[in-house]
């Protein structure tokens, strides 16, 4: 019997989150017979991140409820997990990863699934405040929950009105917090969506009692005996028992940079997720990659992208000839609103809104066009619009705008 192609090979994956874990299992499925090592500095067993700002924050059900895989699945698939271990450097000449504890591991194939970390801006006084937390890891949620439960006034200031800041606002409001969101831009979600969606979410939060303040540039943080204060450039001051920082993320690209890999807006990879060094691949939030559908280079922050690139890389590492070709999609849950977004709306010149709301429920979708080309769809409590939109964008179908704008007509007629 001949030895399988990968039997004696070692694959090391740095980062055991959505990208890394999906890759490890996909590799086994694709027939990789060598060793697979998943290394992560986070000491917790790998978990889903999206629930952190949503149900996991409000329910405190324990990490077991949001694990990416049951612990036994790693054993059954001979995937070695090295948790609480940080990779300090990559020696690509000798094909080694050097760990922070001084040990080294040899690899034949290396995959960077290192993701990103929250931006902590250098605001005056930031190092002096006791209860300021980012929202990226399970430990961040534990810290927020514990600080929140220990204070009586429950005043929360969230710096940044993007999806993560707003989801955190909705969750802490649900727990009885007196929540203020401070956004530097003139509208929330300015970086990621159109004014029509920003207005909807601003009203949704206001109706739920969250104080949303836009055009607020935070310039100083102060610790005093009654908690903390957040000071803005216009002189306004917001007292806070807990501050959550949600102003965006920065790619963990230093390991790649120091190893000499090509970097652009993230770690550059080709259509097979290979970096500029042979034997080194990268997947997920840390990658800068080409999107065939939109004919441009992108960096995406979404679970789906991490999973898609994991599948592509598993095929590439087992000598198939895959080509990454995926439509970006993303979701967000706030209160009783489930938002599903597909495609990229940048460059749109027309928006059509299809309103199917009832007295009890928001239900609508916004359709972004450039000329006749449908670029993206945002669907609020409307799975059908999301599914139909995905098909239409994927197939580049010309959409009948009269049918679309008339909620009496079935969306399926567009297919
Ligand atoms: C609160 C929150 C809510 C979200 N909600 C949604 C959502 O609703 N929908 C959606 O699509 N996406 C959502 N996202 C984004 C989604 O979680 C990310 O896109 C996804 O986690 C990316 O996966 P990844 O594997 O590329 O990177 P990450 O999840 O960032 O994982 C990277 C891992 O690498 C490890 N690592 C980095 N450097 C090293 C090193 N040197 N040594 C060892 N380990 C290292 C890190 O510890 C980390 O565990 C959310 C994110 C957050 C934080």
Last residue of a domain, one of 284, 317, 350: 317
In the chain, what percentage of residues exceed pLDDT 70? 99
Q: Whose CA is nearest to atom 48 of ligand 1?
A: 15
CATH number at residue 156: 3.50.50.60
Q: Are residues 61 and 112 in the same domain?
A: yes
Alpha carbon dihedral 43, 45, 51, 53, in 10-degree steps, equals -10
Provide the percentage of residues in the chain whose pLDDT is more than 90.
94
- Domain shared by 209 and 171, yes or no: yes
Tokens of 236: 């306004």
pLDDT digits (tens, 9 = 90+) for 386-413: 999 999 999 999 999 999 999 999 999 8
Instruction: State pTM to two decimals.
Output: 0.96
CA of 234 relative to ligand 1 center, distance in Å: 34
Which residues line ligand 1 at a C-beta cut-off of 6 Å? 14-20, 39-42, 49-50, 52-53, 86-87, 113-116, 135-136, 164, 252, 255, 284-285, 301-304, 306, 330-332
Residue ending a domain, choose from 317, 344, 369: 317
Nearest CA to ligand 1 atom 26: 284
Ligand 1 atom closest to the CA of 255, numbered from 1: 41
Residue 2, pLDDT score: 64
Residues 227, 254, single domain; the answer is no
Per DSSP, 294 falls in state T
Please indicate, yes or no, whether residues 75 and 24 belong to a single structural domain of this protein: yes
Q: Name the pLDDT band for 112 (thresholds 50, 70, 90).
A: very high
For 165-190, what is each residue's pLDDT tens digit?
999 999 999 999 999 999 999 999 99
Q: Examine residue 309 and state whether it is found in any structural domain, yes or no.
A: yes
**Lowest pLDDT segment from 4-8, 13-17, 215-219, 372-376:** 4-8
Q: Do 346 and 408 fall within a single domain?
A: yes
Q: Which of 300, 346, 342, 362 is nearest to 190 (CA)?
A: 346
Question: For atom 2 of ligand 1, which residue has the closest CA?
Answer: 50
Whether 328 is covered by a domain: the verdict is no
For position 190, what pLDDT does the model report? 94
Same structural domain, 139 and 240? yes
Q: How far is the CA of 90 from the centre of ligand 1 (A)?
A: 21
Rounded to the nearest whole angstrom, what is the distance from the C-alpha of residue 101 to the centroid of ligand 1? 23
Say if residue 237 is in the same domain as residue 136. Answer: yes
- Domain of 343, in residue numbers: 336-414
List the strands of the sheet with 364-370, edge to edge. 329-334, 337-343, 373-380, 364-370, 350-355
Spacing, Cα 269 to ligand 1 middle (Å):
18
Say yes or no to pLDDT of 191 above 80.
yes
- Is residue 322 in some structural domain? no
DSSP state of 398: P
- Quick one: 254 and 200 in the same domain? no
pLDDT at 12 over 60: yes
Number of folded domains that form the chain: 3
Interval between CA 217 and ligand 1 midpoint (Å): 27
Give pLDDT, residue 1: 57
**Average pLDDT for 47-57:** 96
Sequence-ordered list of residues with C-beta below 8 angstroms from that of 304, at least 6 positions apart, any chain: 326, 328, 329, 330
Q: Got the DSSP string for 59-71?
A: H---GGGGBSS-H
Tell whether the model's pLDDT for residue 152 goes beyond 90. no
Are residues 243 and 255 both part of a single domain? no
How do residues 325-351 score in pLDDT, each as one tens digit? 999 999 999 999 999 999 999 999 999
Number of residues assigned to the chain: 415
Range list of H helices, 9-132: 18-29, 55-59, 71-76
Average pLDDT over the chain reads 96
260 and 242 within one domain: no
Residues 140 and 228 in one domain: yes
Q: Quick check: 117 pLDDT over 60?
A: yes
pLDDT digits (tens, 9 = 90+) for 301-323: 999 999 999 999 999 999 999 99
One domain, residues 213 and 142:
yes
């Amino acid at each position: 019997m001949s030895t399988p192609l990968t039997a004696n090979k070692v694959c090391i994956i740095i980062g055991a989150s959505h990208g890394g874990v999906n890759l490890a299992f996909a590799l086994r499925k694709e027939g990789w017979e060598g060793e697979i090592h998943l290394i992560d500095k986070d000491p917790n067993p790998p978990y889903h991140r999206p629930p952190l700002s949503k149900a996991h924050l409000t329910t405190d059900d324990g990490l077991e409820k949001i694990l990416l895989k049951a612990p036994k699945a790693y054993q059954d698939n001979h995937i070695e997990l090295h948790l609480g271990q940080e990779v300090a450097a990559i020696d690509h000449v000798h094909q080694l990863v050097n760990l922070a504890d001084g040990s080294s591991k040899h690899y034949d194939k290396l995959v960077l699934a290192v993701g990103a970390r929250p931006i902590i801006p250098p605001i005056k006084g930031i190092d002096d405040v006791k209860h300021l937390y980012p929202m990226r890891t399970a430990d961040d949620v534990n810290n927020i929950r514990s600080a929140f439960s220990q204070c009586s006034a429950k005043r929360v200031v969230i710096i940044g009105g993007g999806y993560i800041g707003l989801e955190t606002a909705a969750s802490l409001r649900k727990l009885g917090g007196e929540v203020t969101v401070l956004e530097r831009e003139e509208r929330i979600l300015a970086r990621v969506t159109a004014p029509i969606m920003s207005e909807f979410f601003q009203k949704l939060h206001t109706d739920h009692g969250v104080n949303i303040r836009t055009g607020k540039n935070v310039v100083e943080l102060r610790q005093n005996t009654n908690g903390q204060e957040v000071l803005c450039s216009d002189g306004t001051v917001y007292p806070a028992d807990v501050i959550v920082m949600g102003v965006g993320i920065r790619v963990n690209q230093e390991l790649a940079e120091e190893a000499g890999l090509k970097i652009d807006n993230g770690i550059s990879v080709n259509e097979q997720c290979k970096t500029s060094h042979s034997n080194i691949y990268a997947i997920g939030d840390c990658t800068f990659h080409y999107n065939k559908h939109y004919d441009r280079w992108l960096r995406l922050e979404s679970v789906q992208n991490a999973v898609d690139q994991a599948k592509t890389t598993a095929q590439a590492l087992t000598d198939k000839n895959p080509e990454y070709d995926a439509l970006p999609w993303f979701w967000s849950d706030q209160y009783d609103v489930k938002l599903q977004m597909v495609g990229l709306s940048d460059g749109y010149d027309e928006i059509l809104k299809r309103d199917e709301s009832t007295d009890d429920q928001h239900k609508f979708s916004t359709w972004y066009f450039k000329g006749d080309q449908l670029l993206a769809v945002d669907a609020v409590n409307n799975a059908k619009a999301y599914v139909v939109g995905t098909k239409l964008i994927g197939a580049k179908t010309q959409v009948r705008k009269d049918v679309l704008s008339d909620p009496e007509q079935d969306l399926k007629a567009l297919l």
